[in-house]
Structure 1
Amino acid sequence: MNEFINRGTGLLLIEVKNSNPNGDPDRESDPRTRQDGRGEISPVSFKRKLRDLVDAKDAPIWKELAQELELPEEGFDIMESKRTKRAEVNALSIEERLAKYWDARVFGATFLEGETGEKESFIASGVAQFGLGVSLDPVKIERMTTTKVLPVEEGKTKGMAPLGYRIVSYGLYVMPFFINATAAQKTHCTKKDIDLLLRLIPHAYKETASYIRSQVDIRHAFYVEHNRARGTFNDFRIIETLTPARINKLSGAAESWKDYDEEALQKNIDILNEKLSGKTSPVIDLMECL
């Protein structure tokens, strides 16, 4: 099933402006941060947005991509969906689950023996693995109290949400991702599944924007496809080269994309493409393939 899938190495540059890209439930939904002040975006959070785009079968984005990629009507359900009932999933064999659920084939799934008495366990790592998104520099978190309209039955017309609006003023996050063709043997992932994934990535944030994520988007989505399934170049050398640097090696919180050396980044990409020649396809930016 995976004979046409090659290894892939990607890096997302996620730009955040006055938004909360991923709230931390352990900190009253503050934007996630680590001890050095840099922000974080969990892989689960990003994959949730891709799942939601596939799950929204009536939305224009799904209809257009399904037509362009000539996707069949069946086989692209989402296992991790609010509409999916665990009992119905457990009633299916592993082969039936993989044939039905796109996210199980691409991201993998873990179903252990549960209350339903299921005899067959399914633990598999997916073909696509997204790493933790981390901002290149420390981020500034702003908090403010907002007003909100309360239900009429409470006898009030408005109320307050103390410090309920928690945002990152600006941050540039890098999130690596990898396509592992070997895992396709277990999940029956096909090249068409991966093609859909790559086409969805540019739309992940702008098509799932919300009140608190109004200005989160991907500035660059770099991707390198290797010439064979087991890979032909060091993943981390690719990622390091595609990671932008601050102008004049400044430190502290950045204020905009202009604080990063875009010209040097492009030169690095040109040099990397020379090294990749004959081993991988050239670096592409999925954001230019909308």
Structure 2
Amino acid sequence: MSGAIRNRYEFVILFDVENGNPNGDPDAGNMPRIDPESGLGLVTDVCLKRKIRNYIETVKEDEAGFKIYIKEDVPLNRSDREACESLGVKETEDKKLTESLKKLKKSDPDADIRLRDYMCENFYDIRTFGAVMTTFVKASLNCGQVRGPVQIGFARSIDPVVSQEVTITRVAITTEKDAENKNTEMGRKNIVPYGLYRAEGYVSANLARKVTGFSEEDLELLWEAIINMFEHDHSAARGKMAVRELIVFKHSKELGDCPAYKLFDAVEVKKKDEIINPRKYQDYVVEIHEEMIPEQVEVKRMI
């Protein structure tokens, strides 16, 4: 696709949380996610991508080419049908839609490519992260799964975190019957007093060119979204969260100049020697060992 990025990228995100729950675990009563072996805090890739999607939706407001495919209260099939209508298929029932798409595939071998291109052109998160489009899968079209050029791993805290359970009270009683017997109700809130988390990500120029058309404009918007992904998502439950560093590695060519792990290893984050229990970002030192980075790779600290 024309206009796609031409350079491979890797990036490191450092973000912290203070007195909040960055990513609750539904299998553990919504307590903060923690690696049971190391005690390090975890934040899933899905959680981070949700923040990025929310930011894009906030600033672009469904602008043409920047819609969001995976969002709250909008069935995926509704967006799938938009692409089908672009090819003249307008059935409203799922069964009829699937049959029509199968017929379309027989008469037009490139229908799956045209559907895929429509979704990539109109939905920013598909162009960025990829997607599995269920309607198309049922119709046996190859565009049902799009692999995106941008991938983000789990975030892991630099040091072990402690999940602290805080008891809270409220004066609003739920029912009239309860109000006859008590004046307050008790509750609990799970927080991490402080944690600095590190996530690593990848941007494939090869996939951008061959599949989704992820462009330079899309890339700049991605950096903006990562930097600001917590700024419009504040809540009492999540506490004080902020992105502290975005370190970007730009390769000189599409397939890259060195393995990604060498670049990630060049970023060292450690607490200061005199600090025992870190409680703020300033308790850490972030150092980039430039001697470990090939000359062809450009390093940029976005914050």
TM-score scaled by structure 1?
Answer: 0.81
Tell me the residue number matched to 1:181.
205
Conserved? CA contact 2:120–2:213, under 8 Å: yes
Q: For the residues of structure 2 that align with 1:149 and 1:118, how far apart are their CA atoms?
A: 55
Does residue 131 of structure 1 match 2:176?
no
Tell me the residue number matched to 2:195.
171
In structure 2, the gaps of 5 or more residues are: 84-114
Conserved? CA contact 1:50–1:201, under 8 Å: yes
**Bigger shift: 84-93 or 137-146?**
84-93
Conserved? CA contact 1:108–1:124, under 8 Å: yes
Any runs of at least 4 consecutive aligned residues in structure 1 with deviations exceeding 4 A, and if so which?
Answer: 149-152, 156-159
> Percent identity between the aligned chains?
24
**Structure 1 residues 87-130: Cα deviation after superposition (integer angstroms, max 9, x where no partner):** 3223223222222110001000012358x954425112211100
Aligned ranges 1:129-278 → 2 under 5 Å: 129-148=151-170, 150=172, 154-155=175-176, 160-163=185-188, 165-184=189-208, 185-248=210-273, 254-262=278-286, 265=287, 268-272=288-292, 275-277=293-295
Deviation at 1:30, TM superposition (A): 0.4
Instruction: Compute the RMSD of aligned alpha carbons.
Output: 2.6
Tell me the residue number matched to 2:297.
280
Deviation at 1:261, TM superposition (A): 3.2
Q: For the residues of structure 1 that align with 2:67 and 2:33, how far apart are their CA atoms?
A: 30
Conserved? CA contact 2:205–2:255, under 8 Å: yes
Tell me the residue number matched to 1:120.
141
Deviation at 1:276, TM superposition (A): 3.3
Look up the equivalent residue of 2:197 and give its one-letter code: Y
Conserved? CA contact 1:78–1:84, under 8 Å: no
Tell me the residue number matched to 2:42.
40
Does residue 101 of structure 1 match 2:123?
yes
Conserved? CA contact 2:76–2:133, under 8 Å: no
Q: For the residues of structure 2 that align with 1:134 and 1:103, how far apart are their CA atoms?
A: 24
In structure 1, the gaps of 5 or more residues are: 57-61, 67-71
Conserved? CA contact 1:38–1:138, under 8 Å: yes
Tell me the residue number matched to 1:59.
none
Does residue 81 of structure 1 match 2:102?
no
TM-score scaled by structure 2?
Answer: 0.78
Deviation at 1:32, TM superposition (A): 0.3
Number of equivalences? 263
Look up the equivalent residue of 2:195 and give its one-letter code: G
Q: For the residues of structure 1 that align with 2:260 and 2:274, how far apart are their CA atoms?
A: 25
